A and B are shown apart, each in its own frame.
Chain A
Amino acid sequence: MLFHTWTFAAFFLIVYAVYLPTRGTRFCVYWLWAASYVFYGWWNWSYLALIVYSTLIDFFCVRRMAAGGRRRLWLVISLVANLGLLGFFKYSTFLVKNVNRALALAGVTGGLPLPQEILPEGWQFVLPVGISFFVFQSLSYTIDFYRGNVPCEPSFIRYTTFVSFFPQLVAGPIERAKNLLGQLYGRREITGRHIADGMSLFLVGFFKKVAIADYLASYVDQVYAVPQLYNGAALAMATFAFAWQIYCDFSGYTDMARGIARAMGFNLMLNFNNPYLASGLGEFWQRWHISLSTWFRDYVYIPLGGNRGGPWRTYANMFVTMMISAVWHGAAWTFIFWGLLHGVGRLLTRRLEESSVYKERVPRFARQMLVFAFVCVTWVFFRATSLHDALTVLARMVTTPLTDPQFPLMGYALCLGLWGYEFAFESRLRPLLESGVVRLLTALGMIIYLAVFTSSRSQAFIYFQF
């Protein structure tokens, strides 16, 4: 069930109609839990077993920790159970394939069976939607309790609603118990402001997804399907378009999720903060997928020692965190290279970004363009279907003659229009954008654009696969 579909609209209307009058009662949490499970089960009812498993494990482990003794043991059990689940569904095929390849190179015949080969007859091995998101969210509760940052949640139904809360269940933002679980207590205030904010956020997200991301996807898909047939200009434009496609796709989903939650009186965290205006790679990661970046900062980077062990240790910690983040995105060498580039880039530029020469002598706009260009190069690995394709794209970008990239005019208008808007928002023009007339006209223009140009056949969200 995707947010931008009629199915979701019908689902939400039913959920909201019951939710509004009952939000101050105990029934409300049960209702949200049931709605969330229906929402997730809509993809595949068997997926529910996974979310129940993860929820039960963490709820039980925290209860045992709260009962006293062997806190570390229960934490380890939770980590192993959750990461084991994630590892099996997400990485086992990749690992087995690579092990088998290595065995074949060593002359060993046979090899390990693939996960799908050991399943019973008639079963299919699929990656459950959003597994990385709800596993991380549930895990954060266990770790936070272990650290004493949150109390033990006594209500299983409230806890399972926190893990499965439908607006952010399948693609984030990855919430912490400290923020979201607390909001499931008591009566939530819902005013006209909440509903207006929710609608505004939803409109922006809907526009980003349907008008921009889905439109750019057509161009990107055609070029990246056969990169060896295109020249540098088309490949560069496809990469540029993919940068905006993935940003609008993912941040559009997040905006819609936050809008839906806001209309229900909930407050989900900001997940994207105009990342393509970052003037450094460090800043980029503070603006891109903020809920995941902060998750890795709090649960990987800081436990590894953070920046407390001197520069070399700091670099090592940063690099390891970046690589784990890359692997979180998917089990493929392309993702590993994507993370590797970001990791190396971060190591090389950290000192530079902190230096006064860079900050004061290099114009901010130039720094922003440099960061954007670097991020685009890394997106090549993220988007390409294989390492070979990624290297083909990069090689052809610089070795082939300049030809018409066939990038549509509307593509330029959408990408540059959005970028220009973001620049204006972070400049002295911001008050102008915040004026009532400009807001109204912008919203009107977006809705008219959607009515005139968009197709009813939309695509799934890219980040669901993670």
Chain B
Amino acid sequence: MEYARQFVYSSNALRLSGRQWLALAGVLLALAFGIPAAWVWFEPFRPCGDYRLPYEFSQDYWHCARWFREAARAGRVLVIGDSVVWGEYVGLGDTLTAQLNRRAGEERFANLGVNGLHPAAMLGMLRYHGGVVRGRDVVVVLNTLWMSSARHDLREVPADGESGRATLNHPALVPQFWPSVPSYSASFEERAGIVVERAIPFFRWMEHQKSKGARLEGGGAETGRDAESGDAGSEPRIDDPLPRPFAGFSAQVPQPTPGPHGQPLTWEERGIPVGGIPWPAARESLQWRFFRDVIGLLQSRGNRVFVWVSPFNPHLLNPESRASHETMVGAMAEELRLAGVDVFCGMPLPSEEYADASHPLAPGYAHLARALWDDDVFRAWLAGDGRRASGRNGAKLSLSRQWHGHPGRGAGHGQDAHATMPDIP
């Protein structure tokens, strides 16, 4: 058979040649990488001493990376963690880092807490947006809340029809394809989109502009059209789904609000019941595996790492659950110690100093900061005498490929004061 028809291009003139495509690709690459890099010149950012990310910017990874960079450049001790570090129920001056700065008498500790930053997300944050954290002193905060249920621990497979995004904080930071995260059930489309967005800074920068724009408009998803038109009579409003990033271009980076984000009530006032949590063994926990990878990644980048285990509220645990929690934490601390990482387990606080299962209130942070500051190992670590990145005994926490089947280590394995759980007050 013969070809019957000549090729007719189209009914438009947009027909680029190969060279034009190459030129276009060059321009796009320059824009995709150049605009975000150059933007810092146009957008001043002067974080105050106790700066923490504005709450609405918790998923603005471009801004997170910028704050990480600023803090690292200033040579401060970087304190990385979730909302326990960020200070969910306390004001700017009462966070852990603010309390530590007060004790240090200088702006020495930087609050790199991000709301909802569970260990799997922390690994993604450092891997994809925290490349600047190299050769620094880093305190990593382990919140065992992330092991308190199969869902928190990312081991639970969501029910049919349940969105992965809805059951997981920071889905854009968790591994998309490998290793597999059972709780994360996003479609291939979402995962591939996230991988591409991670690779191209322009998309993160656009998200930053949208975050600023949304904050200006004060409504997040609300569109400008809604705000403008109020004269449609009895007709229903018609939403305009178009994002309006340009509103954010001229806006300044906002300062964090000084007050607490959540109501500073005690856990009892919130009506949280006492109960039992079936804690997993350390070697069974997926979040612990990711946390080990966080330490391994930081070490591989030449950082000096100190781990602070924030005290889970023991008052809402029954005795059996409390004991199994202590066993789990003891095993984790011991494993870190054997890998050459200094660890401090935060002392349990009085009941009235907990806002919920894991967040202290302002007096709690004061107690925790004092205990940490007075700790000899921490002071030695701060002074530069602590275990080096390679570890005292030469061990490093490698990014765990052989995690499954790793033998758990017993509590009698060279215990020291930093691997045992203090008594409940």
Contact = CB atoms under 8 A, between A and B. Distances in A.
Interface of A: 5-7, 9-10, 150-151, 176, 178-179, 181-183, 185, 192-193, 195-197, 199-201, 203-204, 215, 218-219, 222-223, 226, 229-231, 234, 255, 258, 262, 267, 269-270, 272-274, 403-404, 406-408, 410, 421-422, 425, 430, 433-434, 436, 438-440, 442-444, 447-448, 451-453, 455-456
List 9 A-B pairs, minimum CB-CB distance, nearest first: A182-B1, A6-B192, A433-B13, A192-B18, A406-B238, A408-B240, A434-B13, A179-B4, A196-B18
How would you classify the secondary structure of chain A's contact residues: helix, strand, loop or mixed?
helix
A255 B1 contact: no
Given A404-B229, A404-B231, A7 B21 contact: no
Contacts of B180: none
A218 B239 CA distance: 8
A426 to B, nearest CB: 8
B196 to A, nearest CB: 8
B188 A436 contact: no
Interface of B: 1-18, 20-21, 23-24, 27-28, 31, 188-190, 192-193, 196, 202-203, 206, 225, 229, 231-243, 245
A453 B243 contact: yes
A444 B26 CA distance: 11
A422 B13 CA distance: 9
Given A10-B192, A267-B5, A440-B16, A201 B238 contact: no
9 contacts: A199-B16, A201-B9, A204-B12, A406-B229, A425-B12, A433-B12, A444-B27, A451-B202, A453-B243
Contacts of A404: 229, 231-232
A452 B245 contact: yes
Contacts of A444: 24, 27-28
A223 B1 contact: no
B238 A222 contact: yes
Contacts of A267: 3, 5-7
Nearest to B243: A453
A406 B235 CA distance: 10
Nearest to A2: B189
Given A197-B9, A229-B235, A439-B13, A183 B245 contact: no
A195 B2 CA distance: 22
Contacts of B235: 229-231, 234, 403, 406
A440 B24 contact: yes
Contact of A456 (B14, B189, B237, B242): B189
Given A182-B4, A231-B233, A203 B14 contact: yes
A425 B18 CA distance: 22
B5 A201 contact: no
B240 A456 contact: no
A183 B242 contact: no
B232 to A, nearest CB: 6
A37 B247 CA distance: 47
B189 A7 contact: yes
Contacts of A262: 7
Contacts of B192: 6-7, 9-10
Contacts of B21: 196, 199
A118 B245 CA distance: 53
A229 B11 contact: no
Contacts of B16: 196, 199-200, 439-440, 443
B72 to A, nearest CB: 29
Contacts of B20: 196, 436, 439-440, 443
Given A204-B14, A406-B229, A234 B238 contact: yes
A230 B236 CA distance: 7
Contacts of B5: 179, 267, 269
B289 to A, nearest CB: 28
A435 to B, nearest CB: 9
A200 B243 contact: no
